Amino acid sequence: MPQSLPIYVINLARRPDRLRRIGDHLAARGVAFIRQEACDATTTPEAAIASVIHSSGPLGQLGQGDRACTVSHSWAWQAFLESGASHALFLEDDIYLAEDLASVLDHADWIPPGIEAVKLEKFGAGASRLLLGPKIGATPMGRAIHRMMSRHVGGGAYILSRAGAEAALAWRGKIRVPIDHFLFNDTVSPLRRALKPAIIVPAMATQRAYDYNSDIAPLGKAVRPKGWRKRLRTLRRGANEVNQAPRQVLQYLTGQATLVDVAFAETPPAQSR
């Protein structure tokens, strides 16, 4: 099957084991990929990281690992824009993908107009109940596509259009939250609202398939404050959530959105019937 959408796999030079694993996995799925050098938080100068993302924001003080990860994604977006492709798939190197991966890379015609980001990943274990809009399309193998009406983080697998990547890169130097919140949390990210992201249901990707230890966890995914600073951070995060609540309740009550249980499924619905 031809592959119109390139794949950018973000990988640290000091983790060739992960590159081998995901390389074998993607080969088994019948797709090719481009390795994107990751930003190493232990060696990259602070000025280079700060040119993309601040050290703190609505979620509090950010760890160097989360900041470097965000820089890595921005490098991949730039590489994509230097290609001639209309859309691209961005992967972190601990992701596991469904059997029908190749079908969504054949062309981008299945992506609904106006949607600049498509989330393939189900974040966390089990199923998550998400507020989603009505079905607006389907993947070539029959997975539903819904607009995201509530946050669902995780930046392990997503597609961006050229317009989406350009919009994301326009925030370089002004980003104040980690990559997954930047793309998929409308309580803290203006970009999330501009992207109008959709999610594939059932999900096509998960980071729960392997026992990898996080490379960024020892560097502090988010600095955990204590005392009054912790209470202040909790209040700020709560205020962000409350700000979106009236809109979400209205969407639910008027039928513009509904609660949907989303889980990862390795086999697409069209093959499981």
Average pLDDT, integer, range 70-98? 97
104 vs 219, more confident:
104
Residue 252 maps to a domain: yes
Q: What is the pLDDT of residues 251-264, one digit of tens each?
A: 645 666 788 899 99
pLDDT at 192: 87
Q: How far apart are CA 180 and CA 216, in angstroms?
A: 14
pLDDT at 9: 98
Residue 45 maps to a domain: yes
Q: What is the pLDDT of residues 29-46, one digit of tens each?
A: 999 999 999 999 999 999
Confidence of residue 208 (pLDDT cuts 50, 70, 90): confident
Average pLDDT, integer, range 188-206? 94
Q: Is the pLDDT of residue 247 over 60?
A: no
Confidence of residue 3 (pLDDT cuts 50, 70, 90): very high
Q: Percent of the chain scored above 90 by pLDDT?
A: 70
- Full domain range(s) for residue 77: 7-272
242: CATH: 3.90.550
Angstrom CA distances, 179 to 31, 70, 87, 119, 248, stand at 25, 5, 18, 13, 23
pLDDT at 273: 41
pLDDT at 232: 42
DSSP strand E in 71-204: where?
87-92, 96-97, 117-119, 128-138, 144-148, 157-161, 198-201
Residue 1 maps to a domain: no
Q: What is the DSSP letter of 112?
A: P
Poorest-confidence range of 91-100, 198-207, 216-225? Answer: 216-225
| Token pair recorded at residue 99 | 């059997």
Number of residues in the chain: 273
Q: What is the pLDDT of residues 119-142, one digit of tens each?
A: 999 988 889 888 899 999 999 999
Residue 118 maps to a domain: yes
Average pLDDT, integer, range 210-214? 58
Nearest Cα residue to 116 out of 142, 88, 96: 88
Residue 58 maps to a domain: yes
- How does strand 34-37 pair with strand 7-11? parallel
| Token pair recorded at residue 42 | 């232990």
Q: How far apart are CA 216 and CA 253, in angstroms?
A: 40
Nearest Cα residue to 22 out of 91, 101, 103: 91
Q: Which residues pair with 144 in a beta bridge?
A: 138, 201
Q: How many other β-carbons are positioned within 10 Å of the β-carbon of residue 8? A: 22
Average pLDDT, integer, range 220-248? 50
Residue 90 maps to a domain: yes
Contact 156, 121 (CB under 8 A): yes
Average pLDDT, integer, range 62-68? 96
What domain count does the chain have? 1
**What pTM was estimated for this model as a whole?**
0.86
H/E segment holding residue 224: none
Nearest Cα residue to 41 out of 15, 62, 68: 68
129 vs 77, more confident:
77
